[in-house]
């Protein structure tokens, strides 16, 4: 039976996600047919009832879970049946199980196992004695008399006590393998257990980042992901040990109450002994391991969500746009690598300057940069935030001021992952003849132009927008981050005639192989004139076209709708709209009066409903609109370049580089990010830092404290806020994406106007 045919699974998925069963069924059907999440969310709103990407991804995750569960049930049922132990009751219980953990609990007694105390006792023939004690039915014989019947020198059962001891080992295993007992104990540990960490012997006096966990306790139910991950890291680095503490008396009371029928019977003391042995030797270690893994899974999921949110905000950082940029990868001894990038991202030239220690070649560096500025009509200078960044930025700003250069802005760009890009296959394919450092400068410049288009070339894990990234489930992290990148790319849309294969591979329905074929086709045939040309490419079949076409844009193509997010399957609808107004499609696009006059109800049919028609209408009003915010450049103080320059009370400008559950990290230009604790982000109560700030945001902060030896900087946004105000976000003049002026004077005049003469 498939998931779609199983009404119980459908109801479970619908209830978990908070949607109707119809929505769940329709979405599952689309996913089973090979639909991608971005496509379903954008172009199948009628079918899903307008579910967003998060809900669809959650449904997809549960779809995979239940498919695996169904497959596992089949394996387990076959295994137990082959053993001749599959009873109708057990079969019904397995078929009615919808949790993987409980399913494995049911299978545990029948699972092939290594040699245990219980299996040894069973080999000695002691199972009937165990059954007699466990069933607690009084007979003609006492336990001791019955046990004496199992004495056998051949089987190494020397006395009645030996027989009883073996029987109790069997009972202990029965108790430990009882699915109901395991479930109850698991729930007790998750509800009442306490995570307890201690410093390892011999490390008590050592200073470390784990000091707060040297003697630490927190309930399992409440411990946040970052603390759980920190404790696990401390244990892995052999600084801490940790366990989950339980009220043993409470657990034993429950288990003995379930096993012992009469506390005054001849069986009670033996059963209590077996239960205690079962808990201490088998159940507690096993359930501890399960709950520890469950805690890790929960911590991983929360940490990965933070990664995903940070990655999304970084990828959707405002682009400076198609402007000519000088990218500078700062360096001291080896100099600053300079790459000149055209407004389309093409490398024009590269060189090296030495404006900082040890050479201090200010004159030579000024001459080189001024020559480049005049030659290539430069609009911006992007400087990586690595070693030598502030010194290089200071030189550039001083040069622009002293040379009276107008219309050019200087911005410090987060270069996290640039070195990874420089050494990547993608970089070698793009610039095989260039040195790694020059490739880094190119990446820095392009990040200013379009962060999304450049950052997709880098393994998301290398960008560093989270915590404990090497500790969380790597498969889940990759899936989550890849899904985030895919979501961002499709949300913004991709220019089919300029996109790299690294960007195209994230378009819905397109894989890396097809992306490379698209680029190759473009290189051989020239610019795409129509979306329909895509079907001429080998591997770009009907399904791929359906999934991808709406997210690919062609500016100035044969069909004006190819430059919009309107899907080709909806072109006939737009043609009907234009025809109803007696105008051409091209005349309808961006014609506010005409678009607003449309009665969308006239264009509804079985497949096209109000959601799709409203999206079409919105797209006609603002075709191909970039959803990202306008670009704002942060401005660091010239007199603050190192952590030693900081003083308590200083008010600085910075860029949020990372957001964790406990606060946000901000680059204030001193090569060490400062931390704004959750309590200092806002003067209203917030539970999540993401309520106040996001990665890439420019903010004003106040320095609360500086610990130079430990390289710790404590910052506050709250200290600068008026009572009851929200988190203060910096208000600066927006740097618009300038059009490409025809002359140098036009460009300088345009930028001067946008920068207010700066």
pLDDT at 468: 76
- Whether pLDDT at 188 is above 60: yes
Going by C-alpha positions, the residue among 354, 323, 328, 353 that lies closest to residue 339 is 328
Residues 424, 655: Cα–Cα separation, whole Å: 27
pLDDT at 269 over 80: yes
Report which secondary-structure segment, H or E, holds 227: helix 225-236
pLDDT band at 726 (very low <50, low <70, confident <90, very high): very low
Query: Measured in Å, how far apart are the chain's first and last C-alpha atoms?
Result: 69
pLDDT of residue 747: 41
Residue 197, phi then psi, degrees to nearest 5: -120, 145
What pLDDT does residue 207 have? Answer: 84
φ/ψ of 102, rounded to 5, equals -65, -35
Q: Is the peptide bond before 421 cis (omega within 30 degrees of 0)?
A: no
How does pLDDT run across 383-407, given as a tens digit for each residue?
A: 998 888 989 999 999 999 999 999 9
Q: What is the pLDDT of residue 724?
A: 60
Number of neighbouring beta carbons within 10 Å of residue 690: 19
What is the model's pLDDT at position 399?
95
User: Is the distance from CB of 264 to CB of 186 less than 8 angstroms?
Assistant: no
Q: Is 718:726 a contact under the CB 8 Å cutoff?
A: no
Q: Report, as an integer, the average pLDDT of 11-29.
A: 96
Kindly report, residue by residue over 499-533, the tens digit of the pLDDT. Answer: 999 999 999 999 999 999 999 999 999 999 999 99
SS3 percent helix, strand, coil of the chain, rounded to 5, is: 50, 10, 35
pLDDT number for residue 515: 97
Q: What is the mean pLDDT of residues 561-572?
A: 96
**C-beta contacts of 616-622 below 8 A and 24+ residues apart:** 616/566, 616/570, 616/573, 616/574, 616/577, 619/564, 619/565, 619/566, 620/564, 620/566, 620/574, 620/577, 620/588, 620/589, 620/590, 620/591, 620/595, 621/590, 621/592, 621/595, 622/590
Percentage, residues of the chain above pLDDT 70: 95
Per-residue pLDDT at 1:
63
| pLDDT bucket at 298, cuts 50 / 70 / 90 | very high
Reported confidence tier of residue 661, pLDDT bands at 50, 70, 90? confident
Mean pLDDT over each residue of the chain, to the nearest integer: 91
How high is the pLDDT of residue 638?
81
- Residue 578's SS3 state is helix
Cite the DSSP H helix spans in 336-435.
362-376, 389-402, 418-422, 425-430
Kindly tell me if the per-residue pLDDT of 744 is higher than 80.
no
Q: If pLDDT is split at 50, 70 and 90, which confidence band does 582 have?
A: very high
Q: Strand pairing partners for 245?
A: 194
Percent of the chain with pLDDT over 90: 78
In this prediction, residues 705-732 reach a mean pLDDT of: 77
Do 177 and 118 meet the contact criterion of CB atoms below 8 Å apart?
Answer: no
Q: What is the mean predicted confidence (pLDDT) over 625-639?
A: 85
Binned at pLDDT 50, 70 and 90, residue 369 comes out as: very high
User: Residue-wise over 14-33: b if at least 16 C-beta within 10 A, else e?
Assistant: beebebeeebbbbbbebbee
pLDDT at 754 over 70: no
In this prediction, residue 416 carries a pLDDT of: 83
Residue 156 has pLDDT above 50, yes or no: yes
pLDDT in tens, 410-448: 998 888 888 889 999 999 999 999 999 899 999 999 999
Predicted confidence (pLDDT) at residue 541 exceeds the cutoff of 50: yes
């Amino acid at each position: 039976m498939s998931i779609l045919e199983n009404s119980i699974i459908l109801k479970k998925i619908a209830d978990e996600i908070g949607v109707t069963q119809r929505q769940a069924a329709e979405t599952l059907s689309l996913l089973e047919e090979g639909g991608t999440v971005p496509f379903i969310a954008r172009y199948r709103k009628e079918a899903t009832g307008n579910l967003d990407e998060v809900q669809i991804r959650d449904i997809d995750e549960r779809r995979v879970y239940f498919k695996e569960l169904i497959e596992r049930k089949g394996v387990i049922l076959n295994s137990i049946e082959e053993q001749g132990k599959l009873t109708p009751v057990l079969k019904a219980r397995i078929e009615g199980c919808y949790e993987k953990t409980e399913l494995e609990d049911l299978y545990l007694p029948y699972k092939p196992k290594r040699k245990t105390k219980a299996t040894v006792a069973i080999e000695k023939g002691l199972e009937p004695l165990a059954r007699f004690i466990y069933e607690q039915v009084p007979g003609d014989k006492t336990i001791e008399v019955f046990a004496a019947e199992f004495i056998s020198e051949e089987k190494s059962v020397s006395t009645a006590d030996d027989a009883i001891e073996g029987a109790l080992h069997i009972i202990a295993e029965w108790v430990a393998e009882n699915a109901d007992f395991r479930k109850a104990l698991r729930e007790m540990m998750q509800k009442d257990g306490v995570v307890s960490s201690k410093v390892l012997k011999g490390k008590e006096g050592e200073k470390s980042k784990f000091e707060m966990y040297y003697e630490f306790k927190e309930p399992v139910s409440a411990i946040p992901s970052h603390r759980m991950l920190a404790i696990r890291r401390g244990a892995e680095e052999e600084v801490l040990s940790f366990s989950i503490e339980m009220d043993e008396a409470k657990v034993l009371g429950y288990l003995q109450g379930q096993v012992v029928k009469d506390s005054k019977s001849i069986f009670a003391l033996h059963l209590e002994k077996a239960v205690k042995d079962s808990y201490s030797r088998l159940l507690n270690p096993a359930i501890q391991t399960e709950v520890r893994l469950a805690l890790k899974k929960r911590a991983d999921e929360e940490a990965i969500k933070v990664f995903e949110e940070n990655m999304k905000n970084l990828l959707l950082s405002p682009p400076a746009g198609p402007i000519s940029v000088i990218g500078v990868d700062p360096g001291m001894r080896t100099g600053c690598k300079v790459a000149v990038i055209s407004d389309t991202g093409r490398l024009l030239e590269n060189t090296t300057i030495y404006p900082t220690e040890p050479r201090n070649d200010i004159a030579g560096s000024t001459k080189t940069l001024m020559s480049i500025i005049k030659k290539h009509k430069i609009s911006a200078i992007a400087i990586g935030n690595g070693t030598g960044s502030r010194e290089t930025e200071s030189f550039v700003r001083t040069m622009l001021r002293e040379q009276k250069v107008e219309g050019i802005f200087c911005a410090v760009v987060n270069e996290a992952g640039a070195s990874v890009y420089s050494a990547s296959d993608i970089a070698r394919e793009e610039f095989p003849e260039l040195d790694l450092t020059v490739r880094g400068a190119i990446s820095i410049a392009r990040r200013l132009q379009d962060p999304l288009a450049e950052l997709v070339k880098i393994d998301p894990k290398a960008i560093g927008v989270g915590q404990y990234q090497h500790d969380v489930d790597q498969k889940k992290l990759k899936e989550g981050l890849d899904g985030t990148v895919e979501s961002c790319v499709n949300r913004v849309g991709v220019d089919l005639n300029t996109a790299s294969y690294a960007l195209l591979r994230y378009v819905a329905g397109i894989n890396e192989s097809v992306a490379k074929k698209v680029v190759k086709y473009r290189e051989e045939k020239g610019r795409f004139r129509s979306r329909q040309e895509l079907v001429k490419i080998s591997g770009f079949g009907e399904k791929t076209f359906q999934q991808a076409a709406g997210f690919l844009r062609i500016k100035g193509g044969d069909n004006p709708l190819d430059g919009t997010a309107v899907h080709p399957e909806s072109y006939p609808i737009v043609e009907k709209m234009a025809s109803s107004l007696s105008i051409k499609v091209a005349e309808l696009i961006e014609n506010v009066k005409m678009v607003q006059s449309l009665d969308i109800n006239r264009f509804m049919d079985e497949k096209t409903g109000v959601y799709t028609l409203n999206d079409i209408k919105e797209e006609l009003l603002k075709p191909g609109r970039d959803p990202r915010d306008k670009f704002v450049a942060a401005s660091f103080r010239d007199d603050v370049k190192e952590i030693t320059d900081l003083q308590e009370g200083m008010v600085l400008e910075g860029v949020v580089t990372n957001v964790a559950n406990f606060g946000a990290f901000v680059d204030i230009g001193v090569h060490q990010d400062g931390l704004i604790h959750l309590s200092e982000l806002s003067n209203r109560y917030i539970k999540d830092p993401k309520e106040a700030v996001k990665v890439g945001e420019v903010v004003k902060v106040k320095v609360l404290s500086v610990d130079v030896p430990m390289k710790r900087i404590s910052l506050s946004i709250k200290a600068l806020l008026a009572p009851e105000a929200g988190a203060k976000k910096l208000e600066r003049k927006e740097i618009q994406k300038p059009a490409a002026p025809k002359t140098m004077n036009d460009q300088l005049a345009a930028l001067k106007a946008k920068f207010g003469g700066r």
